[in-house]
């Protein structure tokens, strides 16, 4: 078939441990998007809180029905009190969103900054003062090519043979158990060195801030948003039922319907947050492979492999929950990747599904809140200019100022969308690039076209799952007709993803598979094009979910 | 009392199979009884399988199992004796002293010996030490009993 690559070159290059780092680390970009998605969800859920409190039944999208303000003539000719009342109507949702975001970031940042002190206190750690031990650690750190200060800590547990890195910002810490420092260092220095190199590899791979900041943000949706929204949901439901019972009496049907709506919302929020929690653990687990590979590029992988193989049998007893909630992949998988690093570049359908799901959440949040936020800010500014400067300056100058502001607003919104697209493109295309990397190093690579079809299929499923889970206008037990749009959205996104993946595959082919040096650079124009194309596909999905249901049922 | 006996008997075995561990034996034993473990799944961490490279905790696990068995099954007959006497009798299995004080030591039947042997093998399977250390510990323990077989 035309898409099957000939295996002309039997002596393909062997992928070395260092070669792995010629390519970007798989989870680098998804971590950023994951953080934004967490914030999006928190804001989406958080926006329900005021509506529950006031029992207005409004959704986050209730910002849009305030359309009277968009009537230019009305704004221009309205009396001051009406103008300011309308301005306040706009400002209220913006203020709630901004305050909620500040609250999230404030608390997350505080948790993140205090985490190292928390770890030190919880584990009763003490700084290592033994000169010989510090020297040994410094030597290993130099071997890892790290020059910055790392604080070395240990505990008082002679049977603790583990190590861990943690920190916040530039303050980096290493915790090495007493058993590791005293016993393993003496009995098996190679293993001791390999373990510490693995830890320093986490620092080199910039895992610390990503992991600990994401963990801090993740605590907010779980601890604050979920708890608050559950309490408020229960409160609002009870209040609504009681007031109806007092006023008119309540039928079983109405009661059932109300409970169903709340259960639906609660179910979506819980599943979504659980899913994000699992995705976070999955991202951390995948960083372990890269830390192993980086460590292996500094010192023979043999010592880590011996340990991992030994551990493998023991892990077989671990149950499913331990595996999906754990911070580490199975020792068997780690050992396998150390034996054959090309396996790290095996295109993963599960990964692309999760990446697209997270990207959809991120983009929905960015579109609904980012764009609506910009729109509201610029509308208020523009209409304030229109209203407040009326009669004060020359009419032509006045209108020119207002139009300039509108054009500036449109450019800002477009740039914002491009930025989202550029952020998503790296994550999205990495699985496609994995096909090329595998082709470069593997003697029997799979045909790329079926791979691209599968990747596109799972991407589309990721978008649909995002739609079903996001507590916006997606899945609603009372409006199952919303689901009728799913096949249309699937057709649109799948076609879009196949075309885009094919384009990227052929564009990157000669750059990645060239036999001399990987050229991973992508021209800005192409990045903007691909970013814009991704934005268009995601935007089409978001709008199509609404459009096709309305089209069919109206 | 089990803890004391386990500690003392384990030390005797460690003296024989891994004398370099005597340096931190007491600390390891304390930690073992406190059930202190590594946080093997810490975020961005790396943990060694259970006992790392150490024979002491493995020996203590085995000895503890054997002592429990001996205390319940074998020492039943002499449970009216003073604790110290029982302790001495158990210790006698693992020390050369037993050959000199044959009269005060306990002797095991073939059936009891087989049970102990199975217990050692099962525990060693669970602990998953490296082969050499496992064999050394097994040989040392089994030989103690075989020498005392009745």
Chain B residues whose CB is inside 8 A of the A329 CB are none
**CA geometry: angle A45, A278, A29, nearest 5 deg:** 85
ipTM of the complex: 0.75
Chain B residues whose CB is inside 8 A of the A177 CB are 38
Please give the residue that has the higher pLDDT: either A515 or A228: A228
SS (H, E, C) A324-368: HHCCCCCHHHHHHHHHCHHHHHCCCHHHHHHHHHHHHHHHHHHHH
The answer, for A309 touching chain B at a CB cutoff of 8 Å, is: no
To the nearest 10°, report the CA torsion of A36, A37, A40, A42: -110
Partner-chain residue, chosen from B44, B46, B51, that has the shortest CB–CB distance to A208: B44
Chain B residues whose CB is inside 8 A of the A215 CB are 43
pLDDT score recorded for residue A9: 47
State how far the Cα of A183 lies from the Cα of B24, in Å rounded to an integer: 9
State how far the Cα of B9 lies from the Cα of B20, in Å rounded to an integer: 17
Partner-chain residue, chosen from A207, A287, A307, that has the shortest CB–CB distance to B48: A307
Judged against a pLDDT cut of 60, whether residue A67 lies above it is answered with no
User: Is A313 in Cβ contact with B53 (below 8 Å)?
Assistant: no
State how far the Cα of A289 lies from the Cα of A285, in Å rounded to an integer: 7
Chain A residues whose CB is inside 8 A of the B22 CB are none
Q: What are the structure tokens assigned to A508, written together?
A: 């990157």
A59 pLDDT band (50/70/90 cuts)? very low
Please give the residue that has the higher pLDDT: either A203 or A270: A203
The answer, for B54 touching chain A at a CB cutoff of 8 Å, is: yes
Chain B residues whose CB is inside 8 A of the A198 CB are 46
Q: What is the mean pLDDT of chain B?
A: 74
The answer, for A333 touching chain B at a CB cutoff of 8 Å, is: no
Chain A residues whose CB is inside 8 A of the B38 CB are 157, 159-162, 177, 179
Q: What is the mean pLDDT of chain A?
A: 84
Instruction: Mean pLDDT check: name the lowest of A248-257, A268-277, B9-18, B81-90.
Output: B81-90
CB atoms within 10 A of CB A499: 14
pLDDT score recorded for residue A70: 63
The answer, for A181 touching chain B at a CB cutoff of 8 Å, is: no
Chain A residues whose CB is inside 8 A of the B25 CB are none
- B84 CB contacts (<8 Å, ≥6 apart)? none
- A424 CB contacts (<8 Å, ≥6 apart)? A33, A359, A362, A363, A531, A534, A535, A538
Query: Does domain A122-208 correspond to CATH entry 3.30.2010.10?
Result: yes
What residue spans define the domains of chain A?
Answer: 122-208, 300-339, 350-554
pLDDT digits (tens, 9 = 90+) for A352-385: 999 999 999 999 888 887 887 788 788 888 888 8
pLDDT score recorded for residue A530: 93
Chain B residues whose CB is inside 8 A of the A208 CB are 44
Q: What are the structure tokens assigned to B72, written together?
A: 């319940």
Question: What DSSP string runs through A133-186?
Answer: HHHHHHHHHHHTT--S-EEEEE-S-TT---EEEEEETTEEEEEE-HHIIIIIHH
pLDDT digits (tens, 9 = 90+) for A382-398: 888 888 888 888 888 98
CB atoms within 10 A of CB A89: 13
* Mean pLDDT computed over A266-292: 89
pLDDT score recorded for residue B48: 74
State how far the Cα of B54 lies from the Cα of A192, in Å rounded to an integer: 14
Judged against a pLDDT cut of 70, whether residue A24 lies above it is answered with yes
Partner-chain residue, chosen from A162, A183, A212, that has the shortest CB–CB distance to B42: A162
- Residue A220 CA to its chain's centroid (Å): 15
Please give the residue that has the higher pLDDT: either A347 or A231: A347
A58 pLDDT band (50/70/90 cuts)? very low
* Mean pLDDT computed over A321-341: 87
User: Is B128 in Cβ contact with A313 (below 8 Å)?
Assistant: yes
User: Is A161 in Cβ contact with B48 (below 8 Å)?
Assistant: yes
Do A500 and A453 meet the contact criterion of CB atoms below 8 Å apart?
A: no
pLDDT score recorded for residue A1: 40
* Mean pLDDT computed over A500-506: 94
pLDDT score recorded for residue A264: 83
The answer, for B24 touching chain A at a CB cutoff of 8 Å, is: yes
- The DSSP element (H or E) to which B46 belongs, if any, is strand B45-46
Chain A residues whose CB is inside 8 A of the B42 CB are 162, 164, 327
pLDDT score recorded for residue A208: 94
Domain count, chain B: 1
> Crossing angle, helix A189-204 and helix A207-220, to 10 degrees?
70
State how far the Cα of A211 lies from the Cα of A214, in Å rounded to an integer: 5
| Full strand arrangement of the beta sheet holding A171-176 | A126-127, A150-154, A171-176, A163-168, B45-46
pLDDT score recorded for residue B123: 79
User: Is B49 in Cβ contact with A184 (below 8 Å)?
Assistant: no
Chain A interface mutation, best of B35, B44, B50, highest count of A Cβ atoms under 10 Å: B44
Chain A residues whose CB is inside 8 A of the B44 CB are 164-166, 199, 202, 207-208, 211, 284, 287, 291, 327
Q: Which of A22-26, A113-117, A386-390, A468-472 has the highest mean pLDDT?
A: A113-117
- pLDDT over 90 percentage in chain A: 41
Chain A interface mutation, best of B21, B36, B48, B130, highest count of A Cβ atoms under 10 Å: B48
Residue B131 belongs to what domain range? 2-147
pLDDT score recorded for residue A65: 45
pLDDT digits (tens, 9 = 90+) for A77-126: 888 888 888 777 777 767 777 777 788 788 889 999 999 999 999 999 99
Q: How far is CA A22 from CA A80, A294, A350, A518, in A?
A: 62, 12, 24, 7
State how far the Cα of A59 lies from the Cα of B132, in Å rounded to an integer: 67
The answer, for A314 touching chain B at a CB cutoff of 8 Å, is: yes
Chain B interface mutation, best of A140, A162, A313, highest count of B Cβ atoms under 10 Å: A162
pLDDT score recorded for residue A55: 55
Chain A residues whose CB is inside 8 A of the B35 CB are none
Q: Which of A83-97, A120-134, B121-135 has the highest mean pLDDT?
A: A120-134
pLDDT score recorded for residue A446: 75
* Mean pLDDT computed over A43-66: 58
A4 pLDDT band (50/70/90 cuts)? very low
pLDDT score recorded for residue A53: 64
Q: What are the structure tokens assigned to A224, written together?
A: 């604050």
pLDDT score recorded for residue A541: 92
Chain A residues whose CB is inside 8 A of the B57 CB are 159
Do A163 and A150 meet the contact criterion of CB atoms below 8 Å apart?
A: no
Chain B residues whose CB is inside 8 A of the A294 CB are none
pLDDT score recorded for residue A46: 73
Strands A150-154 and A171-176: parallel
> Crossing angle, helix A252-298 and helix A28-46, to 10 degrees?
160
Backbone φ and ψ for A132, nearest 5 degrees, come out as: -65, -40
Residues 21-80 of A with CB under 8 A from B: none
pLDDT score recorded for residue B77: 55
pLDDT score recorded for residue A129: 93
Backbone φ and ψ for A325, nearest 5 degrees, come out as: -95, -10
Partner-chain residue, chosen from A159, A164, A211, that has the shortest CB–CB distance to B36: A159
- A541 CB contacts (<8 Å, ≥6 apart)? A360, A463, A467, A489, A492, A493
Partner-chain residue, chosen from A123, A291, A310, that has the shortest CB–CB distance to B49: A310
User: Is B37 in Cβ contact with A164 (below 8 Å)?
Assistant: no
- A431 CB contacts (<8 Å, ≥6 apart)? A347, A348, A351, A352, A355, A455
pLDDT digits (tens, 9 = 90+) for A394-437: 888 988 998 899 899 999 999 999 999 999 998 999 999 999 98
pLDDT score recorded for residue B119: 83
The answer, for A299 touching chain B at a CB cutoff of 8 Å, is: no
The answer, for A313 touching chain B at a CB cutoff of 8 Å, is: yes
Q: What are the structure tokens assigned to A329, written together?
A: 């992949």
Judged against a pLDDT cut of 80, whether residue B14 lies above it is answered with yes
**CA geometry: angle A224, A228, A234, nearest 5 deg:** 155
Residues 65-124 of B with CB under 8 A from A: none
Q: What are the structure tokens assigned to A182, written together?
A: 């005293």
Per DSSP, chain A holds a count of helices (H) and strands (E) of 20, 4
User: Is A158 in Cβ contact with B28 (below 8 Å)?
Assistant: yes
A185 pLDDT band (50/70/90 cuts)? very high
Query: Among all residues of chain A, which has the CA nearest to that of B47?
Result: A162
pLDDT score recorded for residue B43: 86
Partner-chain residue, chosen from B37, B46, B52, that has the shortest CB–CB distance to A183: B52
Query: Among all residues of chain A, which has the CA nearest to that of B25?
Result: A158
CB atoms within 10 A of CB A272: 24
Q: Which residues of A183-215 are buried (b: 16+ CB within 10 A; e: fewer)?
A: bbbeebeebbbbbbbbbbbbbbbebbebbbbbb
pTM recorded for the entire structure = 0.84
State how far the Cα of B14 lies from the Cα of A89, in Å rounded to an integer: 79
Nearest to A290 by CA among A199, A409, A391: A199
Backbone φ and ψ for A78, nearest 5 degrees, come out as: -75, 155
């Amino acid at each position: 078939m035309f898409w099957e690559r000939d295996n002309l070159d039997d002596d393909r290059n062997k992928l070395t441990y260092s070669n792995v780092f010629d390519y970007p680390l798989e989870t680098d970009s998804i971590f950023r998007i994951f953080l934004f998605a967490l914030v999006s969800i928190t804001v989406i859920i958080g926006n329900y809180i005021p509506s529950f409190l006031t029992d207005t039944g409004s959704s986050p999208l209730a910002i849009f029905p305030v359309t009277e303000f968009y009537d230019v003539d009305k704004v221009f000719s309205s009396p001051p009190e009406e103008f300011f009342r309308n301005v306040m109507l706009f400002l209220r949702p913006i203020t709630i969103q901004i305050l909620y975001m500040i609250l999230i970031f404030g608390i997350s940042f505080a948790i993140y900054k205090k985490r190292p002190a928390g770890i030190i206190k919880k584990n009763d750690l003490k700084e290592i003062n033994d000169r010989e031990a510090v020297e040994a650690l410094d030597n290993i750190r130099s071997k890892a090519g790290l020059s910055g200060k790392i604080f070395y800590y240990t505990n008082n547990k002679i049977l603790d043979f583990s190590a861990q890195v943690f920190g916040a910002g530039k303050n980096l810490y290493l915790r090495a158990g007493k058993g590791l420092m005293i016993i393993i260092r003496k009995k098996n220095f190679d293993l001791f060195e390999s373990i510490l190199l693995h830890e320093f590899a986490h620092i080199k791979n910039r895992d610390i801030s990503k992991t600990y900041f994401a963990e801090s943000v993740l605590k907010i949706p779980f601890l604050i948003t979920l708890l608050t929204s559950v309490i408020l949901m229960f409160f609002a439901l009870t209040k609504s039922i009681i007031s109806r019972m007092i006023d008119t009496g309540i039928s079983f049907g109405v009661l059932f319907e109300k409970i169903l709506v709340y259960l639906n919302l609660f179910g979506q929020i819980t599943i979504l947050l659980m899913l994000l929690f699992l995705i976070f653990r999955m991202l951390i687990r995948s960083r372990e492979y890269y830390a192993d590979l980086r460590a292996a590029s500094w010192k023979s992988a043999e010592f880590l492999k011996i340990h991992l193989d030994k551990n493998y049998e023991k892990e077989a007893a671990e149950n499913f929950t331990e595996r999906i909630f754990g911070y580490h992949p199975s020792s068997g998988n780690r050992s396998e990747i150390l034996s054959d690093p090309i396996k790290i570049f095996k295109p993963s359908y599960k990964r692309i599904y999760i990446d697209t799901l997270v990207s959809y959440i991120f983009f929905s949040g960015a579109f609904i809140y980012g764009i609506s936020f910009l729109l509201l800010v610029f509308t208020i500014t523009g209409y304030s200019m229109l209203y407040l400067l009326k009669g004060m300056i020359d009419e032509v100058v006045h209108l020119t100022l207002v139009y300039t502001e509108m054009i500036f607003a449109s450019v800002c919104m477009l740039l914002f969308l491009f930025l989202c697209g550029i952020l998503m493109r790296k994550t999205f295309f990495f699985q496609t690039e994995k096909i090329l990397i595998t082709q470069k190093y593997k003697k029997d690579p799979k045909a790329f076209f079926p791979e691209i079809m599968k990747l596109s299929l799972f991407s589309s499923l990721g978008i649909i799952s995002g739609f079903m889970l996001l507590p916006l206008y997606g899945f609603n037990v009372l409006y199952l007709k919303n689901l009728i749009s799913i096949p249309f959205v699937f057709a649109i996104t799948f076609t879009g993803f196949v075309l885009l993946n094919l384009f990227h595959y052929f564009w990157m082919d000669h750059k990645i598979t060239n036999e001399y040096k990987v050229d991973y650079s992508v021209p800005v124009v192409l990045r903007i094009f691909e970013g814009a194309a991704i934005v268009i596909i995601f935007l089409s999905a978001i709008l199509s979910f609404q459009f096709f249901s309305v089209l069919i049922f109206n | 009392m089990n803890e004391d006996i386990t500690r003392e008997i384990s030390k005797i075995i460690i003296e024989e199979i891994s004398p370099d561990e005597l340096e931190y034996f007491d600390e390891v034993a304390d930690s073992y009884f406190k059930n202190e473990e590594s946080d093997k799944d810490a975020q961005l961490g790396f943990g060694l399988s259970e006992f790392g490279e150490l024979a002491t905790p493995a020996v203590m696990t085995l000895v503890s199992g054997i002592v429990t068995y001996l205390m319940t099954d074998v020492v039943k007959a002499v449970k009216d004796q003073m604790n110290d006497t029982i302790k001495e009798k158990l210790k006698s299995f693992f020390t050369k002293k037993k050959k000199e004080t044959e009269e005060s030591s306990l002797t095991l039947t073939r059936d009891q010996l087989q049970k102990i042997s199975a217990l050692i093998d099962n525990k060693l399977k669970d602990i998953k030490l490296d082969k050499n250390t496992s064999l050394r510990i097994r040989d040392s323990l089994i030989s103690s009993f075989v020498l005392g077989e009745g």
